[in-house]
Amino acid sequence: MKRTSNILVAAALAGGALLAACNTGEHHRKPGRIYMPDMYESRAYEFYNERLASMKPVDGTVKRGELLPYHLKAEDTAQANLTKNPLTISAADVKEGQRLFNIYCAICHGTALDGNGPLYKGGDGPYPAAPANLVSGPKSAYTEGRLFHVMTYGYNAMGSYASQLDREQRWKIAAYIKTMQPGGSKPAADTAAAPAAGAAAPADSTAAK
């Protein structure tokens, strides 16, 4: 009996000590001194809210400076043939399209766009089927809109490149391919035209008379 009472007394003392430790005054929730409080208690911003951060953008949302969404479906190839390039293509855009093509497309279609890339290599490569020839045959008549459509949704064994290339990049590649196809025209140079050869140089106003 005495032992039980001793246990009860000890438990009461321990409970009282615990309550005293938890209730140290008005600021009992403060852990004490904080090293670099401006970093420990960062300023709260609404867009860091967990609920807002997990919300998806509204359908059709376009970020600033981005092209409008592409609404055609994979089966809308007839409409894709008529779709025009929304970009005003410059020589720099064609050069960028060539750079992107060589990174993402040339491994199959080849840098000459003839379907003889490293994966095929004239039939000696690891890929048994020849990729599409983009400069001769049926694919050479594809419009920029159709080329963009194929890059967006894929075609046959070729998968979609919409996750690797944004809309603007796909249009630049399409523009580059068209310049390489029969009848394709290259855009005018971005720089001002140089004076014609043999043209008279402007008079030097400081020349001695």
> Encoding tokens for residue 9?
């007394």
**Residue 139 near residue 150, CB atoms below 8 Å:** no
**Ordered alpha helix ranges (H), the chain:** 2-22, 37-40, 50-53, 77-82, 91-104, 106-109, 144-153, 167-180
pLDDT digits (tens, 9 = 90+) for 89-141: 999 999 999 999 999 999 999 999 999 999 998 888 888 889 999 999 999 99
**Predicted confidence (pLDDT) at residue 77 exceeds the cutoff of 50:** yes
- Least confident span in 27-31, 64-68, 157-161, 202-206: 202-206
**Residue 47 near residue 53, CB atoms below 8 Å:** yes
pLDDT at residue 197, as a whole number: 43
Per-residue pLDDT averaged across 51-64, rounded? 74
Buried b vs exposed e over 79-103: b needs ≥16 C-beta within 10 Å?
Answer: ebeebebebebeeebbebbbebbee
pLDDT at residue 30, as a whole number: 63
Q: Give Cα separations from 103 to 7, 164, 172 (angstroms).
A: 78, 11, 13
Which residue bears the tokens 């580059």?
176
pLDDT at residue 195, as a whole number: 44
How high is the mean pLDDT of the chain? 80
% of the chain exceeding 70 in pLDDT: 68
pLDDT at residue 10, as a whole number: 73
Report helix, strand or coil for 155: strand
pLDDT at residue 202, as a whole number: 46
Residues contacting residue 172 through CB under 8 Å, at least 6 positions apart = 87, 89, 93, 94, 96, 97, 100
**Predicted confidence (pLDDT) at residue 7 exceeds the cutoff of 80:** no
> Encoding tokens for residue 38?
């401006």
pLDDT at residue 194, as a whole number: 44
